[in-house]
Amino acid sequence: MSTLRVRLLLPLLFFLASGCAAAKPQTVEISELKPLPRQVKTTLVINRVLENLHYRKVRLDDDFAEQILTHYLETLDPNRLFFLQSDIDRFRYRAHELDDDLRRGRVDLGFEIFRTYRERVEERVDYALRLLKKGFDFSKDETYRFDREDAPWAKDAAELDEIWRKRVKNDWLSLRLAHKTDGEIRDLLKKRYEGIARRVRQFDSDDVYQVFINAYTESLEPHTGYMSPSTSENFDISMRLSLEGIGAVLRTEGEYTVIQRTIPGGPARQSGQIHSGDRIVGVAQGADGPMEDVVGWRLQDVVDKIRGPKGSVVRLLILPKAAGSDPVTREVLLVRKEIKLEDQAAKRYVLDDLPQFPGVRIGVIEIPAFYRDFRAEALGKRDFRSTTRDVRRLIQQLKKEKIDGLLIDLRGNGGGSLAEATALTGLFIDRGPVVQVKDAFGKREIEEDPEPGVVYEGPLAVLVDRNSASASEIFAGALQDYGRALIIGEPTFGKGTVQTLLRLNRYVPGYGEDLGRMRLTMAEFFRVSGGSTQLRGVTPDILFPTALMDNEHGERSLDNPLPWSAVTPARFTPWPERYDLDWLRARSRARIAKDPGFQMLIQREQLLRELEEQTVVSLQEDRRKIEARRREKILKEARDDYLRDLGIIPVDEESEDVDEEALKKQQDAIDRIQVREAANILADALTQRRSQVRAAQP
């Protein structure tokens, strides 16, 4: 199955912060939805910026116009629940005009399509509300195709009526399985459907323009986007407020707001109850405020509900990723806070209880982000915090603790400062290049290790996963190219591009109105060996079996990503020592086959893969209950068996009086499954290295 495409309509950082959203009008008359003169000028400037500065060269022709139109339709109606085939045919007939229109700054077709979309939404919501007055027979053997991304558009209103009858029935059944009464279900779904129509009615000209232009920019490459003047203002507010919020990056998938990742030091991650892939289905304010259903909401509207002042309480109703289409929800209470630098700082500990390696001590340094206190540095403070400075100090402490090897844990590290990735690499190599950067004009620069000398020369491994991105990939890729470290885990995210934020008014000096801003991809990272980290990421030397189930993730899952490419390798001196990787892989496979922790992770991955491939659910109540119990049993039994094997009493996350300390202990044990095996691999490498030294002695 092809999963529902991800829409990133605003820069990711905006979703982390708190602030005051600009007030939206209650209703915008449909006759007012037409292009503004300012937007003609904005489009002309965007054309010029993309043509001259974007890393991927733009050719605005009929083929590209067809891609823009397709992307726009899928952005508005990703699950094909509103437009009819006749609408699509009418729009596609105009597609060949779109490239010429855009060159002249005209976006009339985008507005025409949106007006039709708004009419179709009104029709569908009206029909859904009529269905709510009736009842449904849940003993009837029917199915509903909930993922319609690849389904044909409905040929007429009658076919769309049948699709919506099943959609409403499925929504009703999901809430019924969550133990809601019929009266509660009617009220909740009435608000949900009316909310869809209300939010579409609130789209003003700037909103429509932003969505349409982003369909244009994202058809070129997924990290380039436009922010309207009002969105730019919200972005500035959020930046000034120092990331006060819950610490989560959000995205839209279909009708759900999904947790893309949690931020180190943020309330979401510290709760231990919110994970990547979970869906937010409700938001409430305060400890006892009413829970508001947010299924079908625009991402920005959900963000506005979640944001708030530091110290205030927000409650989220979470639908776990592993729950599939059934409502096994949990409520999580979070206290909004400012995410400070020290919350994301590197931390250390020692593993000295590996059963197969008595007496071996493996130091572990967790690096949640590549951080640098630029403000303190600019003020001239010599003791400003940075990843490299902290890791240098932690290494010295671990050396005093007589470690035999060092493991750097980069799982979930989404990146950060390029300067820190370069400097951190320099702690483990004497001198040389770390990463190559090529800009839109073909100019190539090489970032070098800023300091000669090596802080740590012993056996080294780096643990990565599918969420290790950007600066993490630069660091891991450089150490792999040098042969300095064993890279262990899952293929990384694959984001090898560089973005900058541009004010469009700088390209039309003296123009009186604000044209907004663009986030523009203007360069690409390349490893010292010549290959890019783009798309492919970094492939570990030793892969964990969870990686084999990673169908689509990271950059590979986005629309129109830049392809992998290569440049001429830089000159560098490889590390002199090499390991027998085949021997290390065989030893790791044998251990993992007997490890109950890894068996739990593998079962979870298999279940998630099954859910991702599912496009249809039963509308028969008994079957849905059986399927939900089956999934819950698989996950719970595998988890509980592993925890009991460690002597830990399992904690139910769904419990109303969950013990937070016990839950944290449980989550730590699960988080360290991969760490312990990476430490075992490093201990194997240490044994191999000692054997090589002995063999070389006369």
> Could you read off the pLDDT of 18-62 as tens digits, one per residue?
333 344 557 889 988 999 999 999 999 999 999 999 999 888 899
Dihedral sign of CA atoms 174, 178, 179, 182 in order: negative
Strongest mean pLDDT among 371-385, 559-573, 647-661, 682-696: 559-573
| Bridging pattern class, strands 460-464 and 405-409 | parallel
Tokens of 259: 């947790």
- Tell me, rounded to whole angstroms, the distance of Cα 666 from its chain centroid: 24
Q: Are 613 and 1 in contact (CB under 8 A)?
A: yes
Q: Would you identify the CATH topology of the domain 241-338?
A: Pdz3 Domain (2.30.42)
Amino acid letter at 229?
P
The pTM (predicted TM-score) of the whole model is 0.88
pLDDT in tens, 456-510: 999 999 999 999 999 999 999 999 999 999 999 999 999 999 998 899 999 999 8
Cα-only R_g, the chain: 26
Nearest to 545 by CA among 485, 609, 484, 493: 609
Query: Which DSSP string do the residues of 273-296 spell out, in sequence order?
Result: S--TT-EEEEEEETTTPPPEE-TT
Dihedral sign of CA atoms 598, 603, 604, 610 in order: positive
pLDDT for residue 241 is more than 80: no
Beginning with the edge strand found earlier in the chain, give each strand of the sheet holding 542-543 in spatial order.
Answer: 347-351, 362-366, 405-409, 460-464, 486-489, 542-543
Class of the CATH-defined domain 341-578: alpha beta
Range 436-451 average pLDDT: 94
C-alpha 411/C-alpha 367 separation (Å) is 8
Q: Are 523 and 497 in contact (CB under 8 A)?
A: yes
Pick the residue with more confidence: 117 or 302? 117
Q: Within a 13 Å sphere around the CA of 464, how many CA atoms are in the beta-carbon half?
A: 34
Nearest to 269 by CA among 176, 392, 198, 369: 369
User: 């959900």: which residue's tokens?
Assistant: 302
Farthest-apart Cα atoms in the chain, separation: 90
Lowest mean pLDDT among 175-179, 194-198, 252-256, 392-396: 252-256
Counted residue by residue, the chain has a size of 698
Mean pLDDT of all residues in the chain? Answer: 88
pLDDT at 327: 59
Three-state SS annotation for 353-371? CCCCCCCCCEEEEECCCEC
Lowest mean pLDDT among 164-173, 625-634, 674-683, 689-698: 689-698
The residues annotated as belonging to the active site are: 470, 481, 495
Provide the Cα torsion 297, 299, 300, 305; round to 10°.
60
Model confidence band, residue 696 (pLDDT cutoffs 50, 70, 90): low
All structural domains of the chain with their residue ranges: 24-225, 241-338, 341-578
C-alpha 175/C-alpha 185 separation (Å) is 6
State the CB neighbour count (10 A cutoff) for residue 479. 24
Nearest to 219 by CA among 563, 565, 554, 558: 558
Amino acid letter at 558?
L
Tokens of 96: 């060949």
Range 286-293 average pLDDT: 90
Q: Within a 13 Å sphere around the CA of 546, how many CA atoms are in the beta-carbon half?
A: 23
Write the DSSP symbol of residue 438: E
pLDDT in tens, 550-584: 556 789 888 889 999 999 999 999 999 889 999 99
pLDDT in tens, 318-371: 888 876 656 578 888 999 887 766 667 899 999 999 999 999 999 999 999 898
Q: Within a 13 Å sphere around the CA of 512, how many CA atoms are in the beta-carbon half?
A: 1
Q: Are 46 and 518 in contact (CB under 8 A)?
A: yes
